[in-house]
Structure 1
Amino acid sequence: MPDPSTGFSLDAISNHVADLLDGIAPRLVTVHGRRRGTSSGFHWRPGLIVTAEEALEADGDVTITRPDGSQVSASLVGRDPSTDIALLRTEEQPLEEIVFGPTDGLRTGHLVLAVGRMPEGLSAALGIVALAGGPWKSLRGGHIDRRIHLDLRLNFQSEGGVALDTSARIVGMTVLGPRGRVLVIPSETIERVAPQLLDKGRVARGYLGLGLQPIRIDKAAADAAGLAEPRGLIVVSVDQDGPGQKAGIRQGDILVRWNADVLPSVRRVYTLLGPESVGRSVNLGIVRTGAHMTLAVEIRERPKPQ
């Protein structure tokens, strides 16, 4: 049993966790954006709420339940599927802008409190950081500043809520990853993406204007292109006036290299077309009717969906 003289006791831990919940409670809301249920969100700036993009099923108005139980409408300001961040606008509340806590000091084994708001009230789960890694790319090509996994069970209605460290700092937003794994979208990612959503409604992504599918290619052509594996990405469509079309890429061409790197999958191309790619030039290695060539393509920003 812990020695009470050290100040480390179950009562002290219990009261500290409850105090953390009391401190964050005014910022947490319930987001009615799913057909069958709700998710969570939190006030970022006056009148602006951050939530999990994956939990929003529509681009129209949604309903917010505030901490006092009242409901108000909210409109979508912007969403970024690649980082799972969405921004909503609603009636202003007397809350200051959030000061996020950095995640660079977060280590495996640190305690983290995941807090959301269900229609019945606050929900909380206390767990440890199971993984604290470096930057990574999401399956949708988004740049996430740190890979943080939590060892706790998160109710789906708490997705879009906050992750608090033991100093009551918000270190990110909790979301559900593959196989029910609980991930944290780090504070640094939110601080980078949310202002872009507020400004433009979306995060700029690179655009080649090409429809691609994986394909196996002739071994002789693969050898000529210096490929260890006879694989590439065939161009099945070329957008008119797109960067690829302007560079001379044709339907039926096979992409095999991005600068010096091979292209093992369409997903790899998608991850390479992140926000930082816009405006840059890339040399694409092409196999056309058995011959290998290189075409320079200037990456443009993906057009806004109509």
Structure 2
Amino acid sequence: MADTMSSSLEQLSAAMADAVAAASASVVAVHTGRSRASGFAWREGLVVTCEEALPDDADVTVCLPGGASARATLVGRDAGTDIALLRIDGAAPSPIAFDAAPVRVASMALAVGSLAGTPVAAAGVVSLAAPAWRSLRGGDIDARIELGLTMRRIAEGGLALDAQGRAIGMSVFGPRRRVLVIPGATIDRVAAQLAAHGRVPRGYLGLGLQPVKVEPEGIGAMVMSIDRSGPAAAAGLRQGDVIVAWNGEPVRSVQMLLRALGPASVGTVMALSLRRADEPVEAQITIGERPAD
């Protein structure tokens, strides 16, 4: 019995080491003046990394497998999905291919990053596999996957692997350092937009909003400021207006209203129910595209 268990553990250990070795051929270290993270080759000459770990206006160096360095330039970034795309000068690792098979709760998982070109890894299980969700910053994520493992900070932006060693997405930190996976489907969709346009469009109302109580026991979003060249100004909204519903849905929080302004919202018409000096007012606003800044 002991020999059988030992053999099984050795086989599992060897399989995990082989999976990390294979994946690490596509994993890089991403260095800026103030941060260290990981990334991976997505397409020829293009590297995906964690947007949150990438400072603004930073010079970026990528450490390739084996330790060689290459300069990189930022192609685009999307805070909503935590994805940034870099272009490498010169030689680049082989791109990774994501697997589309469903992720199962309690199956084994690996997080693979890079320390100056040397692989780093963490092992655990899939602690949550849930449907698509929208991040607090308005990004549409194709599945909510959480990993029960302890990951080093430098590994953020690296690859998440399933029990068969297949790449399922990018490992990032969520609230309370919970390890989340940005699925491969999300990465392929967003990175393609970044490669083509340098950004992912987001909806824009041109309003500064603040939550207020609305009688009897509701919540509204008071207009505190207006971009005079924005969609809200064109629709006739005024400072002091209180938005109480949008498209027939009560406003439960300002954040909820802002989350509705995803990429698909640009160009659509939103019906707003307002209170203006305690009088009900209806307005329609054509959602614009958020300025690049």
TM-score range, shorter chain: over 0.9
Cα 1:2–1:270 change in 2 (3 A) is farther
Q: Does 1:66 align with 2:54?
A: no
Partner Cα distance (2:290, 2:40) in 1? 29
Cα 1:8–1:137 change in 2 (3 A) is farther
Structure 2 counterpart of 1:60, which letter?
A: A
User: Which secondary structure state, in structure 1, belongs to the residue aligned with residue 56 of structure 2?
Assistant: coil
Single out whichever of 193-202 and 7-16 deviates more from structure 2: 7-16
Contact 1:26–1:67, Cα closer than 8 Å, also in 2 = yes
Partner Cα distance (1:58, 1:206) in 2? 22
Partner Cα distance (1:277, 1:92) in 2? 38
Contact 1:46–1:92, Cα closer than 8 Å, also in 2 = no
Partner Cα distance (1:241, 1:94) in 2? 44
State the shift of 1:303 in Å. 1.6
- What residue number does 1:93 align with? 91
Cα 1:93–1:120 change in 2 (3 A) is closer
User: Which secondary structure state, in structure 2, belongs to the residue aligned with residue 107 of structure 1?
Assistant: coil
Matched ranges for 1:1-306 at <5 A: 1=1, 4=4, 9-33=8-32, 35=34, 37-93=35-91, 95-103=93-101, 105-119=102-116, 121-217=118-214, 219=215, 229-305=217-293
Contact 1:60–1:75, Cα closer than 8 Å, also in 2 = no
Cα 1:262–1:33 change in 2 (3 A) is farther
Contact 1:48–1:92, Cα closer than 8 Å, also in 2 = no
Single out whichever of 262-271 and 281-290 deviates more from structure 2: 262-271
Q: Which digits, 9 at most, give the CA deviation of each residue in 1:87-127, with x for residues without a partner?
A: 00112436544321115x21111111110001372111111
What is the percentage of aligned positions where both structures have the same residue? Answer: 47
Partner Cα distance (1:204, 1:8) in 2? 53
Q: Which digits, 9 at most, give the CA deviation of each residue in 1:196-215, with x for residues without a partner?
A: 11111111000111110111
Cα 1:52–1:15 change in 2 (3 A) is same
Partner Cα distance (1:184, 1:3) in 2? 36
TM-score by length of 2: 0.95
Partner Cα distance (1:259, 1:21) in 2? 48
TM-score by length of 1: 0.91
User: Which secondary structure state, in structure 1, belongs to the residue aligned with residue 252 of structure 2?
Assistant: coil
State the shift of 1:60 in Å. 3.4
Structure 1 counterpart of 2:241, which letter?
A: D
Give the unaligned 5+ runs of structure 1: 223-228
Single out whichever of 151-160 and 23-32 deviates more from structure 2: 23-32
Partner Cα distance (1:211, 1:137) in 2? 21
Structure 2 counterpart of 1:303, which letter?
A: P
Contact 2:41–2:92, Cα closer than 8 Å, also in 1 = no
